[in-house]
Structure 1
């Protein structure tokens, strides 16, 4: 395994244990984090704090049991691709959601410079 893969795996392990600061720990101060157009938190955010505030704080306050479960990691050296499944229940509606995702991480020596999310946004929005 590469250092970059280890770093990305650790981010998902932090997610699974509810450690939101651990999720963004590998992000460079100027890292670009993009949530897909059509996703409730769509946009590109810069740096760990903005990602925490604009994505993960909302996920934590608006969803019960929200999870991003990785199922496959593809080690491309400086590019790590993760395939998995989102799930959770949107608090305002009580509707449950399950949607596949692909995340693409771009790293340099264990530091994430860019993250991009791909998912079936229609399945997520049905829960809203």
Structure 2
């Protein structure tokens, strides 16, 4: 698979805002979801069910809005790098923007691995404000 289809696959996920139907089509159910230590609920989650429940399920209650804004996409073989920022509004009304880099691995036309690095401090501050 060339870089262009892989980038299109990843772009589709961000453009959907993680819409469940798109997630079901592009994310492998056995994905490895690796969130940087220091980020709220950081760790390695095995499978989409775990990432959804154990990461997003714990993160989401602290926010009225949390979204990833992709700004740049770079492809290299089976990998797609995304530079962007999270825009979030905590339950207390604190808005924040935290930079991230996502490294996606594509296999058989689906996303099989995510490694995230982000400005964890900004997100932690929004949760405690």
Normalised-by-shorter TM-score class = 0.7 to 0.9
1:67 aligns with 2:67: yes
> Once the two structures are superposed, what CA deviation does each residue of 1:54-73 show, in whole Å capped at 9, x if it has no partner?
23333433212211000000
Segments of structure 2 that go 5 or more residues without pairing to the other structure are none
Separation in 1 of the partners of 2:20 and 2:66?
12
Corresponding residue number in structure 1 for 2:82: 82
Matches within 5 A, 1:8-87: 8-15=10-17, 19-20=19-20, 22-23=22-23, 25-87=25-87
TM (normalized to structure 2)? Answer: 0.85
Cα displacement (A) at 1:21: 5.1
| Runs of 4+ deviating beyond 4 Å | none
Asked if 1:125 is matched to 2:103, the reply is: no
* TM score, norm. by length of structure 1: 0.86
CA–CA separation in structure 2 for the residues paired with 1:104 and 1:32: 12
> Given the superposition, is the C-alpha separation of residues 115 and 40 from structure 1 closer, same or farther in structure 2, using an over 3 Å criterion?
same
**RMSD (CA atoms):** 1.9
SS across alignment from 1:2: helix
Whole-angstrom distance in 1 between the partners of 2:62 and 2:104: 25
- How many residue pairs match? The answer is 125
Task: Tell me, in whole angstroms, the C-alpha distance in 1 between the residues paired with 2:51 and 2:21.
Answer: 10
1:105 is matched with which residue?
104
Change (3 A) 1:34 1:72: same
